A = this chain, B = another copy of it.
């Protein structure tokens, strides 16, 4: 044996599911896509093709459907917990289960001023996400949001930055600031109100983006994270990744026109990136 195996896992990805809850006068739907990965004792499979400890990815997928039938699927975090419980109970060869879920959000079609009982429309481009890691000792629950595109046209700037011979960036005020928020946050043990919490964090991220007088995307990121940690005691840390979607002021001078921050070219690439994790400082160290 001349090699050591590390960072080995396997599983099923792209497992898609629509769960319909049919109650009198009202249906609910939840559409999700899961990735389920196992760590464990799989070295014989890798080295010798000995599959006796390999539960097929196809079985992992079937388990998702069978458990979806048994549970009404209220929140993706809860459904993930059911799956984890099942896999760790019946698979001693597995030491860690990781489940990442993204939910496609359907909202009721408004009809005659009221939300419709069983007809839905896709609302928003963002996904609700959940990432759970679990061993037999502990379970970490991270909830999140991905693809939440936002844009503001005032009270953002980028000034007094470092300059070198390749710097041509101009000092900027009242330009467009736009990003596509990806965030996930770690819950304290014992949290259970996953739905209201998620909606609360989403709204706070939006309001914080809307109102903060940011001097950079870094500055905006920190304000968003701090707002969440400051308002939700049950969130231990929050991780944010913000691409800086560039809206470039079009130079209209060649046509004899000014451009008082009115006409912009949206640029897909290149884009800036800022990432950071904010952790609640333990009280004793404060």
Contacts and interface: CB of A to CB of B under 8 A. Distances in A.
B280 A2 contact: yes
A135 interface: no
Size class of the contact patch on chain A: 35 or more
B264 A18 contact: yes
Contact of A18 (B53, B149, B266): B266
**How many identical chains are in the complex?**
4
B218 A46 contact: yes
A19 to B, nearest CB: 6
B55 A254 contact: no
A45 to B, nearest CB: 4
Contacts of A273: 9-13, 35, 37, 57
Contacts of A263: 17-20, 65, 68-69
30 contacts: A1-B281, A3-B278, A4-B278, A5-B222, A5-B276, A6-B278, A8-B276, A10-B272, A12-B273, A16-B265, A16-B270, A18-B176, A18-B264, A20-B176, A21-B262, A27-B153, A29-B153, A33-B269, A50-B215, A58-B167, A62-B166, A62-B168, A62-B255, A66-B257, A91-B162, A111-B206, A111-B207, A116-B210, A119-B210, A120-B152
Interface of A: 1-22, 27, 29, 31, 33, 35, 37, 42, 45-59, 61-63, 65-66, 68-69, 90-91, 93, 106, 109-111, 116-126, 148-155, 158-169, 176, 203, 206-207, 209-211, 214-219, 221-222, 225-226, 229-230, 237, 239, 243-244, 247, 250, 252, 254-255, 257, 259-266, 268-281, 286
